[in-house]
């Protein structure tokens, strides 16, 4: 019964029926760049393929699982970047799922020799789905076996819709700042014929990289990077602050997540650490979130794994890569 209760809570939290759903958050958000914003499409020379997996709240039965893959390509001769992305969130006893697939485009132009502006657009199709018959509701808990519920099931277990996102990023050799507006079309977030829609999500992110060993136009062997990511979606607000330390080929970092102001028990949501290793053109990252909020350590925290592979091509002109960390 306890497992059933937690499974139902997860479904409601995931927004299967409600209107206040929040998007999945990745601790290694720079290792999932196309999810962060379409401006990151083509952010490296040549091509890049990325895979991500997040297991959130392992201590909760049938918790949240997120799978994502992406591919992007830099067409420097046209100052453009192209990308494809697919992601699926799955949670709860009813196998609530949110699948999103999209294509992205970015354009890079230089108002000054040292400053780049990179707007981007993303176009998506998405599907939310659930198996209501795998759920057990409150009016079914009195008897064993459970009687039919009085809940009126919707006529459909999957809903499709379209969506758009836009972003703008400004960067130089060691500094960057960007803004993303997600869910510009507010896609449907309900299996019933009501007005429940996914709220807008706004993200502001940036950082600074300090090179301790190496050169900008050659191999950077050591660096320290400070970064932030602030998100607002509906009534939900969250800020990530962290530091990355890179000593080629090893990287590691520490993150604080929460809000500086507000109630004391809401100021810190989690503390996270991450470690990464680079094998030539393959980068592997792992992170773990320690839950500090009222949910407690009983949630089991969150694990995240990322893989990124780059395929360099011949670049006919001098090209500046984004200074963002990869983990």
Could you report the per-residue pLDDT of 95-136, keeping only the tens digit for each? 788 999 999 999 999 999 889 999 999 999 999 988 766 665
The answer to the question of residue 320 being in a domain is no
At residue 228, the pLDDT reads 96
Burial class for 66, CB neighbours closer than 10 Å (0-12, 13-18, 19+): buried
- Structural domain boundaries, residue 37: 2-147+156-311
The answer to the question of residue 318 being in a domain is no
User: Which pLDDT band holds residue 148 (cuts at 50, 70, 90)?
Assistant: low
**Phi, psi at residue 26, to the nearest 5°?**
-100, 130
Q: Tell me what the mean pLDDT of segment 127-150 comes to.
A: 63
The answer to the question of residue 283 being in a domain is yes
Both tokens of 193, joined, read 């014929």
Angstrom distance (rounded) from CA 236 to CA 321: 33
Instruction: Quote the mean pLDDT of the chain.
Output: 82
User: Which pLDDT band holds residue 221 (cuts at 50, 70, 90)?
Assistant: confident
- 301 and 289 Cβ atoms separated by less than 8 Å: yes
User: Which pLDDT band holds residue 87 (cuts at 50, 70, 90)?
Assistant: very high
The answer to the question of residue 46 being in a domain is yes
User: Which pLDDT band holds residue 8 (cuts at 50, 70, 90)?
Assistant: very low
Q: What is the CATH number of the domain that holds 46?
A: 2.40.160.40
Query: DSSP of 220-255, one letter per residue?
Result: EEEEEEEEEEEEEETTEEEEEEEEEEEETTEEEEEE
Q: In total, how many domains does the chain have?
A: 1
The answer to the question of residue 269 being in a domain is yes
The answer to the question of residue 326 being in a domain is no
The answer to the question of residue 263 being in a domain is yes
User: Which pLDDT band holds residue 315 (cuts at 50, 70, 90)?
Assistant: low
The answer to the question of residue 327 being in a domain is no
């Amino acid at each position: 019964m306890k497992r059933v209760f937690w499974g139902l809570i997860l479904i409601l939290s995931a927004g299967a029926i409600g209107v206040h759903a929040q998007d999945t958050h990745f601790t290694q958000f720079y290792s999932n760049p196309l999810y962060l914003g379409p401006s990151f499409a083509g952010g490296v020379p040549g091509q890049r393929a990325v895979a991500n997996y997040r297991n959130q709240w392992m201590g909760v039965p049938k918790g949240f699982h997120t799978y994502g893959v992406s591919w992007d390509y830099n067409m420097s001769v046209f100052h453009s970047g192209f990308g494809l992305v697919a992601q699926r969130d799955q949670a709860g006893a009813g196998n609530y799922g949110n699948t999103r697939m999209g294509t992205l485009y970015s354009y890079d132009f230089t108002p000054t020799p040292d400053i780049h502006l990179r707007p981007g657009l993303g176009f998506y199709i998405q599907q939310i789905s659930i198996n209501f018959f795998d759920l057990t509701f409150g009016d079914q808990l009195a008897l064993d076996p459970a009687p039919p519920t009085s809940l009126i099931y919707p006529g459909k277990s999957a809903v499709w819709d379209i969506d758009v996102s836009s972003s703008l990023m400004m960067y130089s050799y060691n500094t960057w700042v960007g803004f993303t507006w997600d869910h510009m079309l507010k896609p449907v977030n309900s299996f019933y014929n009501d007005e429940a829609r996914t709220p807008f999500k706004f993200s502001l992110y940036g950082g600074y990289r300090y090179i301790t060993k190496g050169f900008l136009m050659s191999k950077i062997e050591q660096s320290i990077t400070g970064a932030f990511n602030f998100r607002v979606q509906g009534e939900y607000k969250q800020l990530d602050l962290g530091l990355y330390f890179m000593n080629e080929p090893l990287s590691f970092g520490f993150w604080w997540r929460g809000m500086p102001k507000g109630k004391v028990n809401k100021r810190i949501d989690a503390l996270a650490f991450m470690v990464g290793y680079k094998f030539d053109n393959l980068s592997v990252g792992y992170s773990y979130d320690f839950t500090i909020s009222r949910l407690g350590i009983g949630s089991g925290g969150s694990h995240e794994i990322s893989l990124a592979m780059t395929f360099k091509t011949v670049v006919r002109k001098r090209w500046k890569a984004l200074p963002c960390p990869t983990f």
